[in-house]
Structure formats: C-alpha cells, structure tokens
A and B are shown apart, each in its own frame.
Chain A
Amino acid sequence: MTAPGVEDLLRELTPQVLGVLVRRYGQFEGCEDAVQEAVLAATVGWPAEGVPDNPRGWLVTVASRRLIDEMRSDHARREREAATAHEVTPEDVPDTDDSLVLLFLCCHPTLTAASQTALTLRAVGGLTTAEIARAFLVPEATMAARISRAKQRIRSAGSSFRLPEGAEREERLRVVLQVLYLIFNEGYTASSGGRLHRPDLAREAIRLTRMVHSQLPEDGEVTGLLALMLLTHARRRARTTLAGDLVPLDEQDRTTWDREMIDEGTELVKASLAGPALGPYQLQAAIAATHADAATAEQTNWPQIHALYLILERIAPNPVVTLNRAIALAETEGPTAGLALLSTLDADERMAGFHRLLSVRAHLREKVGDTAGAHRDYRRAAKATASLAEQRYLESRARRLR
C-alpha cells in the first residue's frame, strides 16, 4: 500500500481505535495520547513493513500497551491498573464505531471553538498536532498546549462516554455541526492571512461531515451541511486566479466547477428538503445549489434565491443573512431596492465596520451610478478586511472607478 493509502486508512481508524480504548479504560486524556503514539508508529512502520492483516486490531493492541505502560509508571494508579490491564488480542476488538460519540465529546460545550476544532481534528480526524498547527499557522507548542488544555477541561467536566439523549443531543449536534463548518471555512476562506485556500482542512471537514451523515442519515441539517460544503468546495478552482486573486461568483469560469461534487451536493439538498423540518444549513445549501444550477451568471434564478433568503431570515434572523438577501433583491428588483434594504443594517452594531456590508454597498452604489460613493466604500471595505486576497480585490475595484 502506498503512503497516502496508509494515511487515509489511519485517519479513518483513529476515532474507532480511540473509541475502543475509551470504552475499555475510561480516561479519554491518556487514551488519546496512546492512540496518537500508536498512529505515529503505524505511519512509520506500515509503509515499509506492510499493513497488518487486521490494522484496527494492531492499533488497539499497540495503543493499549502504551496506555498500560503509562499506567504502570504511574504509582498512584498501581491498584487500578492491576484490575484493568490485560493484553488485548485483535479478536477482542468489538465491531462498534464510536466516532460519533468521540465527536460529541471533542465538541464539548465547555471548550472554546479553537479548542473544539483542534481536538476534533486530532482525536476524530487523526491529524497529528504538527499538521493541525501548520493548518492554523501556529507553532506546534501552541497547538499542543491548546489540545492538552482541552482534554483537561473535558476530564474536569466529568463527561461520560455516550451519545447525549433527546433535547441535549439536538443541542450538542448543533455545536458539532458548527465546529465542522468552522473547520471547513478555515480551509476555504482563511479568516486572515495571504493564502485564500487551505484545501486540506476543507477536505477534512467534508470527510468528517460524511462520517456524521453516514451515522445520522435522517438528520436534515447534517445532510444540509454536507451538501453546503460540497457545493461550495465544487467552486474552489474558479474562486482564485493563478496569482491568488479573488474571482467573484459572477465572473467565475463555471466550466472549472467540479460537476461531480455539484451533482452529489444537489442530490443531498433535494433529499433533505423532502424531510419534515427546514434548517439554516439546508437553506444555505439550497441557495448554493441554485447558483450551481446556472450555466452562466445571467441565468441565475435570483427570485428563487431571494425567496430562500427570506425563509432563512425568518427561521434564523441574522444581519449577514439580510445582507445576502439585499444582493438577491438587487438582482430581482434593482440596485436601489438592494441599497434600501442595506440601509436597515446601518444601525446594527454587529455590522459596524463589517467589510462585507461596505463591499456590497460599494457594489450596489456602482450599479446605480454613484461612482464617488462606491469608490469610497470599496476603499473603506479594503481597510476593514483581514484577508489580503480580499483587500487586493477590493482595491482593484476601487481603482477601476477612479
């Protein structure tokens, strides 16, 4: 097996192996370290020596030994170790997949979003601390401290290793989806920095969301989120020029969109919209699917997009949704109507100095012929953004108007 094959296999097995260990020994913290070490051993050993017949059993055995060694060296735990430590053979490994339980644990509500994403990528995604650190552009020591702090916090919260039930499960699942979306967006837009794409994180988020979807196929919002990611990721090649400059949706070369991904995303949207309840991810995915359906920007079904934003605004009121609806309204009823809707956001403190409000207003002012106003807003938006690619784009728009 080639090295990338080993890597994919290990990422898939990591949460399963960790689940087996946590079920057997409790103490998430120690198990997580032991699994990470076993995975590292496999990363080094397997490409050279070949993948063992039962790779999952191999990892469970190696990780258990590490954990037991760790427990043995710990005097305070000597008594407990005698009761629990036993050699594991691959045949002992139960065939349950605890990936979902682990995901809920890593997205524990007492953790900060930065810790939730880091811990999820390591314990469920099977990434090494060094890889996560690189993805988030921080030193490995910083990421290691963050992960270890997160594990301590989970321990002190006294979480049990089971799926939450009923209303709590619903609530916790929303957090899980939020974390997955955050990982995706981190890979897709990069909240700051010069690189617009960090495709590994986007791909990883899609893989993890697929895993959740396979275990909760009936959940409309899980389906919606997976569809939204696929439909967004399908445009990745068209989003930037070779020089790294941003290309807006209406100027993208749609022939470079990933058709296969769009088809899959569209099918998922259709399936999820047939379900009983509509959620924000499903609606956003439906909007993305409508864009994907148009062969050219001119053929976009703006009335449908506007209608979807109206529903979204009703079920999940948010100024950013209103901002997006203003774009759709400008397309259906003209830029003046769009500007009028935007002006309702001026008093919203959450939007003060938000670069997208300024850039959308600049765009609409340009359309109504208010060149001076558009120029001013593009320049202000360029100053307000934390993304270098966006800043270059906004400055180039401003220059065109001079």
Chain B
Amino acid sequence: MQFLISMYINPAVLDALTEEEKAAIGAGHGRFLEALKASGELITTQALVDPSQAAVVSVRNGQPVVTDGPFLEFKEFLGGFYLVDCESRERAIELAAQIPDTTIEGLGVEVRQVMFADGQLEA
C-alpha cells in the first residue's frame, strides 16, 4: 500500500524555534530518510520551495491567466512530502510518527493512501 505523508509547515512556528531545535529537526529527517531507505519502504521524498514562489494558473477565454503567489491563503502550507510503500495504514501512521515535525505544535503531518499511480518512479 502506498501512502503520501504530507508535511504542512507554518513559517511563524518555524521562525520561533531555536537554532538547536531547527538542527534537531533536520537531523531527525535525515535519520528517518535513512531508515526508510534501508527498510525498502521509501518511494521518494521531495520538499517544495516557499509558497511565495508559486504561481496560480487559470485559463479564461482560452487565454492563460497567471497570478503570482499561492492558491490557498493559509498560515500553513505544504512544505514537502514522503511517498512510502508499506504494509498497512497502521504502519504508515507509525512511520509518520517518526517525523520530527509531529512533536511541534502548529506543524501538521498528514497520512493519505494513494489511489492511482502512473509514470516512472526510477530515481
């Protein structure tokens, strides 16, 4: 079963962390990634640029209209994700609980099963 573990971050919450806390989060992600690779559960992981760099595209009367900035105007936004292949929903939740973000109030870690997949996954 494949699951997307999404990490919702809040810049205000991150800014309030000490340098040590930030370093601990980075190290925690590093350890999590190595463990996922070794167990054969990692499909891929990616982190996204700041939402201020996003562009919203729509097409009106056949013409694309581009607006700079994110689509959703929330304090929290999608910072990145892990795509994993594991035994069960319980295991996916167990994995998500190892992500350091889960210990910090104001950051969100969400688990959802994949329903359809296509395309190349080879790294």
Contact = CB atoms under 8 A, between A and B. Distances in A.
B39 A192 contact: no
A321 interface: no
A333 B38 CA distance: 54
B97 interface: no
Contact of B87 (A114, A140, A142): A114
Given A137-B121, A149-B38, A192 B114 contact: yes
A145 B118 CA distance: 22
Contacts of A194: 115-118
A145 B33 CA distance: 13
B40 A192 contact: no
B20 interface: no
Q: Could you say which of A137, A143, A144, A191 has the most chain B C-beta atoms within 10 Å of its C-beta?
A: A137
Q: Is the contact region of chain A dominated by helix, strand, or loop, or is it mixed?
A: helix
B115 A139 contact: no
B38 A145 contact: yes
A112 B87 contact: yes
A191 B87 CA distance: 11
Nearest to B37: A145
Nearest to A388: B116
A193 B115 contact: yes
Contacts of A114: 40, 85-87
Nearest to B121: A139
Given A113-B87, A114-B87, A191-B1, A139 B117 contact: no
B6 interface: no
B118 A142 contact: no
Interface string A131-151: 000001111111111111100
B69 to A, nearest CB: 32
A291 B44 CA distance: 43
A115 B39 CA distance: 10
Contacts of B38: 145, 149
A372 interface: no
A384 B38 CA distance: 32
A391 B115 CA distance: 10
B41 interface: yes
A290 interface: no
Contacts of A138: 2, 43, 85, 121
Given A112-B87, A114-B87, A193 B123 contact: no
B39 A139 contact: no
A217 B116 CA distance: 40
Contacts of A137: 2, 85, 117, 121
A354 to B, nearest CB: 12
B9 interface: no
B113 interface: yes
Interface in B7-38: 37-38
Contacts of B86: 114
Interface of A: 112-115, 118, 136-149, 191-194, 386-388, 391
19 contacts: A114-B40, A137-B85, A137-B121, A138-B2, A139-B43, A143-B40, A145-B40, A145-B42, A146-B40, A146-B41, A191-B1, A192-B115, A192-B117, A193-B115, A193-B117, A194-B115, A194-B116, A386-B115, A388-B116
- Report, nearest first, the 6 A-B pairs whose CB atoms are least far apart: A146-B40, A145-B40, A194-B116, A139-B121, A138-B85, A388-B116
Given A141-B123, A142-B42, A146-B39, 19 more contacts: A114-B87, A137-B85, A137-B121, A139-B43, A139-B44, A140-B122, A142-B41, A144-B40, A145-B40, A146-B41, A147-B40, A148-B40, A149-B38, A149-B40, A191-B1, A193-B114, A194-B115, A387-B115, A388-B115
